[in-house]
Structure 1
């Protein structure tokens, strides 16, 4: 069986017989034609893996033939062979989606190399990826077992995400399984690390702690706010680091990425805690003290993220930066997004523009509610793919493109990530116990201590005390917390959904990215 079927179109095809024989000896099936009209008819009737196409032919040119072939089948790779190296021709050819081009006179090995690049590329990349990961596996294993600090944990997680994205190119289920197993082991160790260190990080006198939600603005945004250049601080709700990597190439088309970093989301890794902490510049226990009316605990009526702008004004006052002229925009539906697109130029008058975009959070919650999304986002790969597709077609992308030709700073961050849950853990609590699947707080909670990180005194974790004797518990790794009543129903309903609120690399180590326009 031939490696691939090649259609070679050239008005001097007789002079290329030796090339044809060379490629046939290498295992390719070669069909030759001497004009573009026949080539177009041929691809309508026959399956072809690659077309080798001469540019200068009488009757219909190579570029005209290329356009017609693409109309018949957009996906056929076409290699343009030309005597003409002019820039205009190359621009036209590349704009017409050629896969490769060769300059005449062509050498048989050149043609072979081009075919290998096109046909074997996927297989060669997959083999190379698998082999490279095998070499890196030991390094990652050693890093995991060398008592990493919070900076090293960020590095380990970035490497795991890198290999997860690389493994998409591989067709080796065995190696993907090995990587998932290593990621699971990393989450087991990370949970122990957070359990040992978290209370110290949020202690007011702690000198050695990572950048976290409550000091993100002070350390990662404020230093870039410049009176001369508008800064856009965009918080994409519930964006994991791997999802950022999926949309990064779209940002890179319009912006130059200067710093791609991560920070630690506070616990619970849930919007009302993390996002309020980002904008208040305070831990939840201190927000409640300073804003007792505005702060709402889980069991209280009313919206939990209604006062971010007010909290932010308080943060600017404490930082003695009341002089910053800022706007605050929250997008919770498509029509808000369209309004943002129309208003972007007006925002250029401010020093700082805060844009909170809720879509990814809506997607992750909808993932558990809608069967269609259960199909669409059944695993990490499809979750990243949906995020990319959404962003590409989102009002946010349109809005940023509108001002990409202006001199601006853009900082992308998030409040927390999410993790795919698989392991149910039984919890018993009273009627006041919260319903979140990755964390709970309440009185008289009954749970298996090994399965959670527990704070009997919430203040140790920088959290308010909703009721006397309230404690907080956080699920670890891929666990989710279920009550005994209707246990099987909830287990089956929520297993393999993306949730947040607990302790995992995916929820806690999240992106903060600084970029500037290319102008």
Structure 2
């Protein structure tokens, strides 16, 4: 490892010789100067990893020297050492972007700890992460082989997301590889589990099933709606659990998180099915029966998500909650977002405000089609990073900050997630076969049975039957479904893109988060 170079600036440097020797013994290279002017000249000509600086020196003060050093190289960490404990000096020092603050007299271990934090922090965290994951690997492996139920799978997926985010702190490609193969193994087992249990879950008579899309409002949202405290239900389209974790710190600045839960998205994990099921409180087969004019199958013309508000009204009526005063707001374009910002205070009059925000879904589709976005969101970590950057600057966040001081409840959810696909599977179908990459329905579908979960009778999966003899198939793990004509072109075009509609932990186990404003909690 290269030796870290320290510049120590103090007009009484002679009295610090023992400290200098202590740091050199610990492997640091320490250069000393006695005033701010020399420090500035030194930084101009020499590479420095950290500056330790006395605040009170003749000539120019530590804070003035700090400002000049930052002009030369804004990235150099500076630790201010001072006898002065006054609050306004601390405020000024922190405002001037010091990296640490030590009060004289300092002992050698204090200085050493500060240097370790600034120089070795990344390496120490990476080493600790790798060791901790190695210990947890066995536990996760045992949990996978312990026949988990739907609650067990939600726990396993949360742990995998936790370690995926921790792995970003580690720069070990070997551990990353081990983690990736464990996640693949989990998705293989999850596919088998869903294949075995899905028809039971969607059977209305079933007593043993997780909360799914069509039950979300009834069990997870409406119980929190009461007169006097407005509830904002925010549905961000296509938001995976790891993407929620990326934007969580931004929410935590203004809201207290009370519950961080997950629920199961229905199949297909695609907007028109999941989101309509959420607002209707019904499975797609029932929506089609009750709303034959409004429901559109994949192969029919017309918008597939145009009647969410109509469906929701009918759900409230069915649940005898028509007394709820609600607003329904859909944000598809930046202009809609600005309208939301301008109108947000008026929504405080309602018991429930639904905000459907389309961005992440647009991002995943655009990423498939635009080379620049493929570069920017080349993997899960960068996909999370773009999601965070979008949310931080979005009209949605702007609108929520405007009402963060009011007594409100916030429930954040999504309709489905997405998975990065890599494994192509050939499917042959007639002209009516749908074009989706993670699921298809049509007549006379020809496929390799081991690659998919198939429902010859869609009703078994709670789905409408688009045409006589139509069956549905769902891709597993990281698979995507391609036709044999122009096969190689499509395989290369869609490989490594984020898709949804099939069966994976990332698509099916999705967040529902309850929050309240900090000011009133």
| TM-score (norm. length: structure 1) | 0.98
Q: Could you say what secondary structure the match of 1:192 adopts?
A: helix
In structure 1, C-alpha distance between the alignment counterparts of 2:144 and 2:473, rounded to whole Å = 25
Q: Deviations over 1:125-152 (max 9, x none)?
A: 1111111111111110010001100000
In structure 2, C-alpha distance between the alignment counterparts of 1:427 and 1:457, rounded to whole Å = 18
Aligned partner of 2:391 in structure 1 is: 391
Q: Deviations over 1:28-87 (max 9, x none)?
A: 122222233333343333321111122223343323333333333332212121212233
Q: Could you say what secondary structure the match of 1:139 adopts?
A: helix
Q: How does 1:186-201 map to 2 (within 5 A)?
A: 186-201=186-201
Task: Answer whether contact 1:2 1:28 (CA < 8 A) is retained.
Answer: no
Aligned partner of 1:345 in structure 2 is: 345
In structure 2, C-alpha distance between the alignment counterparts of 1:266 and 1:219, rounded to whole Å = 16
Aligned partner of 2:506 in structure 1 is: 506
Is 1:313 the equivalent of 2:313? yes
Question: 1:333/1:42 Cα in 2 relative to 1: closer, same or farther (>3 Å)?
Answer: farther
In structure 2, C-alpha distance between the alignment counterparts of 1:2 and 1:157, rounded to whole Å = 39
Aligned partner of 2:157 in structure 1 is: 157
**Count of residue pairs the alignment pairs up:** 519
Is 1:267 the equivalent of 2:275? no
Is 1:178 the equivalent of 2:178? yes
In structure 1, C-alpha distance between the alignment counterparts of 2:97 and 2:180, rounded to whole Å = 36
> More displaced, 52-61 or 261-270?
52-61
Is 1:471 the equivalent of 2:471? yes
> More displaced, 92-101 or 356-365?
92-101
> More displaced, 382-391 or 36-45?
36-45
In structure 2, C-alpha distance between the alignment counterparts of 1:149 and 1:61, rounded to whole Å = 64
Q: How does 1:228-239 map to 2 (within 5 A)?
A: 228-239=228-239
| Cα RMSD (Å) | 1.3
> More displaced, 116-125 or 193-202?
116-125
Aligned partner of 1:371 in structure 2 is: 371
Q: How does 1:136-155 map to 2 (within 5 A)?
A: 136-155=136-155
Task: Answer whether contact 1:417 1:510 (CA < 8 A) is retained.
Answer: yes
In structure 1, C-alpha distance between the alignment counterparts of 2:310 and 2:390, rounded to whole Å = 30
Shift in Å, 1:378: 0.9
Shift in Å, 1:213: 0.5
Aligned partner of 1:291 in structure 2 is: 291
Q: How does 1:124-139 map to 2 (within 5 A)?
A: 124-139=124-139
Aligned partner of 2:483 in structure 1 is: 483
In structure 2, C-alpha distance between the alignment counterparts of 1:256 and 1:332, rounded to whole Å = 28
Q: Deviations over 1:70-118 (max 9, x none)?
A: 3333322121212122333333333333222211001112111211121
Task: Answer whether contact 1:2 1:29 (CA < 8 A) is retained.
Answer: no
Q: Could you say what secondary structure the match of 2:472 adopts?
A: strand
Shift in Å, 1:408: 1.1
Is 1:254 the equivalent of 2:286? no
In structure 2, C-alpha distance between the alignment counterparts of 1:94 and 1:133, rounded to whole Å = 35
Aligned partner of 2:24 in structure 1 is: 24
Question: 1:46/1:395 Cα in 2 relative to 1: closer, same or farther (>3 Å)?
Answer: farther
Shift in Å, 1:25: 2.4
Shift in Å, 1:352: 1.0
Shift in Å, 1:394: 1.2
In structure 2, C-alpha distance between the alignment counterparts of 1:167 and 1:21, rounded to whole Å = 36
Shift in Å, 1:324: 1.1
Aligned partner of 1:240 in structure 2 is: 240
Is 1:324 the equivalent of 2:321? no
- The 4+ residue runs of structure 1 with deviation greater than 4 A are none
Q: How does 1:47-126 map to 2 (within 5 A)?
A: 47-126=47-126
Is 1:442 the equivalent of 2:442? yes
Shift in Å, 1:178: 0.5
Which 5+ residue runs of structure 1 have no aligned equivalent? none
| TM-score (norm. length: structure 2) | 0.97
In structure 1, C-alpha distance between the alignment counterparts of 2:272 and 2:490, rounded to whole Å = 24
Shift in Å, 1:2: 5.6
In structure 1, C-alpha distance between the alignment counterparts of 2:56 and 2:106, rounded to whole Å = 14
In structure 1, C-alpha distance between the alignment counterparts of 2:150 and 2:66, rounded to whole Å = 54
Q: Could you say what secondary structure the match of 2:349 adopts?
A: coil
Task: Answer whether contact 1:2 1:27 (CA < 8 A) is retained.
Answer: no
In structure 2, C-alpha distance between the alignment counterparts of 1:375 and 1:467, rounded to whole Å = 40
Q: Could you say what secondary structure the match of 1:348 adopts?
A: helix
Is 1:37 the equivalent of 2:37? yes
Q: Could you say what secondary structure the match of 2:354 adopts?
A: strand
Which 5+ residue runs of structure 2 have no aligned equivalent? none
Q: Could you say what secondary structure the match of 1:320 adopts?
A: coil
> More displaced, 106-115 or 10-19?
10-19
Task: Answer whether contact 1:161 1:242 (CA < 8 A) is retained.
Answer: yes
Q: How does 1:400-439 map to 2 (within 5 A)?
A: 400-439=400-439
> More displaced, 413-422 or 1-10?
1-10
